[in-house]
Amino acid sequence: MFERVGIIAKYADSEVRQALAATIAVLTARNCDIAIDENCASVTNDPTIRVVAEQDVVVDRDLVIAIGGDGTLLRAAKLAFPSKAVVLGVNLGRLGFLTDLSPDQVPTSLNRILDGHYITEERVVLRAEIIRDGTIVESADGLNDVVIQKWSSARLIAFDTYVDGRFVFSQRSDGMIISTPTGSTAYSLSGGGPILHPQLNAMVLVPICPHSLTNRPIVLADTATIEIVIDAEYADESRLTCDGEAMVQIRGADNIRITRHQRTVHLIHPTGHDHFANLRAKLHWGRGPC
C-alpha cells in the first residue's frame, strides 16, 4: 500500500535506535523506498538509506512514520499535511495520544498496515495570522492549538475576542488557547477545557487563568473566524504560538486571526484503534466495563 516512506525521529537515543531498527527492517523486507532525517541517521549505519533534511522527509512520500512522542508526530504532521502523505506514530513518549504503535508492536502491526489493514482519520489544522496595518506579517499552522499568552511579565494581559465579526468578550488573563479536537487532550485539557472527539467539526476557546471566574471555555464550529485584538498596553508582553512555536513579536493594534486551514492532516491507525480505550489508558479512567 505504501512504497515510499519517510521517517522522522525525536532526538536520537537508545530507544530511537531500537524502534528505528525494527521499522527499517520491516520496510527493507518489503523493498520500500526509505528516506530518513538526520536524527535517524545518527543512530543507524546503513549507507543504503537516503538521508535528507527533516523538511524534505515528506517529499514524494506516501507514508511518514514519526518515532517519538506526540511532539515528534506534530512535527511530522505539519510537514506532511500540505502533501498527500499520511502519518503514523511509533510511541516513545509518556502519553502518546497521537502515536499508536509501541516499538514491540512494530514488526507485526507495521506489516499489517503495509498490507492495507488500517483506518484513516482526518484531523483539523488551524491557521493563525498576525495582521498589521491590513497586511499579514506572519502566518503559521497548528494541529494542536494556537495560544495567545503573556511572555515576559507576571502581569495579566488584556484582549478583545470576536467570532465571525461579532464581539464576544473582553478578558484579562494569562492568555487564551484556541484548540482543535486533537489539541483538546493537550494544553487545553490542562487549562480546564473539554475533551473533544477527534471527528468533531469544532474548536474550543480556553482562557488561561482568567481574572473573572465567569470566563469559561467556549466550543465553536470550526467554520468560525476568530479575531483577537490585544490591548496596546500589553502587546509587548504578549506572544502568539502555534503548537508551541513562537511567531513574530506582537505590536499594539495587531489583529490576530485564527481560522480552519483548508487542508487536513491524515493520520493512520492500526485496525481496531479505539479512541476511548486510548483515553482510558492514558488518563487512567479504569480498566474497562464491569
What residues act catalytically? 70
Helical segments of the chain, H only: 14-29, 38-41, 70-80, 111-114, 187-190, 275-283
Question: Residue 251 corresponds to which cell in the numbers above?
Answer: 505590536
- Give the Å distances, CA to CA, from 274 to 51, 75, 282: 34, 23, 12
Give the bridge partners for 50, in sequence order: 35
Q: What angle do CA 270, 90, 142 make, to 5 degrees?
A: 95
From its phi and psi, is residue 55 left (phi > 0), alpha (psi between -120 and 50) or beta?
Answer: alpha
Instruction: Give 109's DSSP letter.
Output: I
Parallel, antiparallel or unpaired: strands 175-179 and 145-150: antiparallel
- Give the Å distances, CA to CA, from 250 to 67, 127, 253, 272: 34, 17, 9, 45
Give the bridge partners for 269, in sequence order: 119
**Nearest Cα to 255, choosing from 174, 160, 125, 155?**
160
- Give the Å distances, CA to CA, from 262 to 3, 124, 176, 212: 27, 9, 23, 35
**Nearest Cα to 62, choosing from 125, 7, 17, 144?**
7
Q: What angle do CA 234, 239, 244 make, to 5 degrees?
A: 155
